[in-house]
Structure 1
Amino acid sequence: MLSIVLVLVLASGVIELIIGNYFYDYVIKNDAKDFIPQGVSLDTENPNYEALNWYKNEVKKTLWTQESTDGLLLKSDYLENHSEKTVIIAHGYMGSRQDMGLYARMFYDLGYNVLLPDARGHGESEGDYVGFGWAERKDYQLWINQVIQKKGSDSKIILFGVSMGAATVMMTAGEKLPSQVKGVIEDCGYTTAKEELAYQQRQMFPKIPAIVSIPITSLVTKFRAGYFLGEADALQAVQKSRLPILFIHGTQDHFVPTSMGKRLYAAAKGNNSHNHLFLVSGAEHGEALKKDKSGYYQEVETFLFSIKL
């Protein structure tokens, strides 16, 4: 009888490890994902063609590099606008800096220098896993320091991100940052990697209970990438941060549910009088700027003006 129990326990453990490694490879390893669109098409029929083409082919870009604390070569485009104000823009999951032309143009037109890193494991930056903002927060601290070193101690820095990039800048905001960092704008970021992955699993693999798969995937992630999924916690970060934060979310976001954006704002609301939530009616995930360009621009400008930038 004891031998049967041992066999069942071992078999259960093997099955759990198989599931954990499967989900690690499916979500966290930085292979191309069939459930994520690859890149932004530069099509003249695209209503945003002008801004995308401006970033890709017209504006002068300088390559900046950075070595991460764990030895990865990270790359970034820098757009000089002869200003003391600089925005650091963080792209989304399985994206790259090439996807962020719309946002680069918006901030450039507002008078900002623009720094657009490729997150570790994305674009031209080294790395073989996705950190969901937790590992990346340290990388963005290094980018902040490089801006200050190159542009001077009178720099005024804004952190901006979309989706996973939004989670990244929120987690960065939870760290002790130089006084030159003046604020954060996050667009459709998630509360925690654990909650987001559990939510996605229920949509994509409803027959596999997240209560089983997420903990074992987190354990596999710790062994293979060095962090637990529960550590990637933007909710806790914004609770700690005293920086002003503009939260943006679409009301029809079914990838990172709108409720997450509301919870993030609620967690940070009392920390700074300039914190604000902007909900874009009818916008799906990452589509707020495209859905309401004028409203988006106005909210961003109003927020920056309110913090004297």
Structure 2
Amino acid sequence: MKRKTVYIIVAVVAALVLLTFGAGWYMLDYALKPDYNRRDTAVVYKQIAYEYPWTRPWIDSLKHARALRDTFITTPAGERHHALFVRNPRSMGRTAIVVHGYTDCSIRMLPIASIYERMGYNILVPDLHAHGLSDGDDIQMGWKDRNDIIRWIYVARRMFRDADRSPRIVLHGVSMGAATVMNVSGEKLPDGVCCFVEDCGFTSAWDEFSHQLGEQFGLPDFPVLYAASMLCKLRYGWTFGEASSLKQLGKRHTPMLYIHGTSDNYVPSAMVLPLFNMNPAYENKADKTLRYNDIWLTPGCAHAKSYHDYPYEYERKVKKFVAKHIGRL
């Protein structure tokens, strides 16, 4: 009788373990699977024309002049990664690298990139790993993507080299792209990276998945999220907990503009305050004093809709912040 009870307990525990890891595997595939229609660029251009009609004449003019160009690089892993770029004759060595969000692509960032083109900047808009025209089979939630963006920084420095001026670069990301540029900010970077703009980024992959697990499935973190994170480590080499923009921000004092919609339920707007408070100031190189970063909570905006809902004020805020750190024409 005792032996039978032990067998039953072992069988139940084994079944629960298998069920947990099965659920974790499903969650991992569900969360990190790319959009397999991502290469249909014609559809994305139509979406942009509908959502941001004021950018259509600009994009059409770039295409007509063949100024909107493609470039590809090969990563150390042998993957081909893609970016769009526009060379601006008024740049004076200044470049904006604009980074898209989850299951999105470079084309979707052209409306925000247009802000920098009007400011006279070169623009480089990459497709992250497993997005758009870039190779890859798994979404990296802005964590391993940070290394790809650092690679694009070096590409931009070579591509837009100005013999008379030192490079000056701003990184601007939205959603997962915002998490990416915050992750980049914690790394040792080449000279010339002057400031960052993060728009509705999450504190960590763990926090975002925890929120989505509760919102979509009504489940607590334990045990599924723990199992999925462990499987992610085994399968892709990183965990949800280490993919932390919050920790990256704590490494360095970096000029950063934080933007977040107050009605964002996808990446909860409450996440922006811990991010800002982790890195509320930066060192002014001129006088070695600490200056405060900027934060803007956009009233009533849903996820990644701040520019859509407040285009003029968004552009004004970005121009003012970036000009402070990179300089005016």
**TM-score calculated relative to the size of structure 1:** 0.92
How far is 1:71 from its partner? 2.4
- CA distance in 1 between counterparts of 2:123 and 2:255 reads 20
TM alignment of 1:137-176, pairs within 5 A: 137-152=146-161, 154-176=166-188
- Map of 2:196 onto structure 1: 184
**Residues 42 and 53, structure 1, Cα contact 8 Å, conserved in 2:** no
52 and 165 in structure 1: CA distance in 2 versus 1, 3 angstrom threshold: farther
- Map of 2:286 onto structure 1: none
How far is 1:66 from its partner? 1.9
How far is 1:16 from its partner? 1.0
How far is 1:179 from its partner? 1.5
Matched, 1:284 2:307: no
- CA distance in 2 between counterparts of 1:284 and 1:183 reads 25
- Map of 2:72 onto structure 1: 65
**Residues 32 and 94, structure 1, Cα contact 8 Å, conserved in 2:** no
Larger Rg computed on CA atoms: 2
44 and 13 in structure 1: CA distance in 2 versus 1, 3 angstrom threshold: closer
- Map of 2:231 onto structure 1: 220
Q: Provide Cα deviations, 1:29-82, integer angstroms capped at 9, x if missing partner.
A: 21459xxxx975626983622314533673412222222232221011111002
- CA distance in 1 between counterparts of 2:48 and 2:94 reads 31
- CA distance in 2 between counterparts of 1:164 and 1:143 reads 17
Identity rate, percent:
31
**Residues 168 and 326, structure 2, Cα contact 8 Å, conserved in 1:** no
How far is 1:156 from its partner? 0.6
- CA distance in 2 between counterparts of 1:275 and 1:43 reads 33
- Map of 2:240 onto structure 1: 229
Q: What's the RMSD between the two structures over aligned residues?
A: 2.1
**Residues 63 and 78, structure 1, Cα contact 8 Å, conserved in 2:** yes
- Map of 2:81 onto structure 1: 74
How far is 1:290 from its partner? 1.4
Matched, 1:14 2:18: yes
45 and 26 in structure 1: CA distance in 2 versus 1, 3 angstrom threshold: closer
- CA distance in 1 between counterparts of 2:35 and 2:19 reads 23
- CA distance in 2 between counterparts of 1:243 and 1:270 reads 7
**Residues 87 and 160, structure 2, Cα contact 8 Å, conserved in 1:** no
Among 191, 200, 220, the alignment partner of 2:212 is 200
86 and 2 in structure 1: CA distance in 2 versus 1, 3 angstrom threshold: same
Matched, 1:106 2:122: no
226 and 57 in structure 1: CA distance in 2 versus 1, 3 angstrom threshold: farther
- Map of 2:102 onto structure 1: 93
Task: Tell me which amino acid in the other structure corresponds to 2:324.
Answer: S
- CA distance in 1 between counterparts of 2:69 and 2:51 reads 27
What 5-or-longer segments of structure 1 have no aligned partner?
none
2:308 counterpart SS class: helix
- Map of 1:51 onto structure 2: 55
- Map of 1:120 onto structure 2: 129
How far is 1:302 from its partner? 1.1
Task: Tell me which amino acid in the other structure corresponds to 1:78.
Answer: F
Task: Tell me which amino acid in the other structure corresponds to 1:101.
Answer: L
Q: Provide Cα deviations, 1:224-245, integer angstroms capped at 9, x if missing partner.
A: 2221111110011111122200
The 10-residue stretch of structure 1 (127-136 or 44-53) with the greater mean CA deviation from structure 2: 44-53
- CA distance in 2 between counterparts of 1:52 and 1:17 reads 47
The 10-residue stretch of structure 1 (50-59 or 161-170) with the greater mean CA deviation from structure 2: 50-59
**Residues 274 and 303, structure 1, Cα contact 8 Å, conserved in 2:** no
Matched, 1:248 2:259: yes
**TM-score calculated relative to the size of structure 2:** 0.87
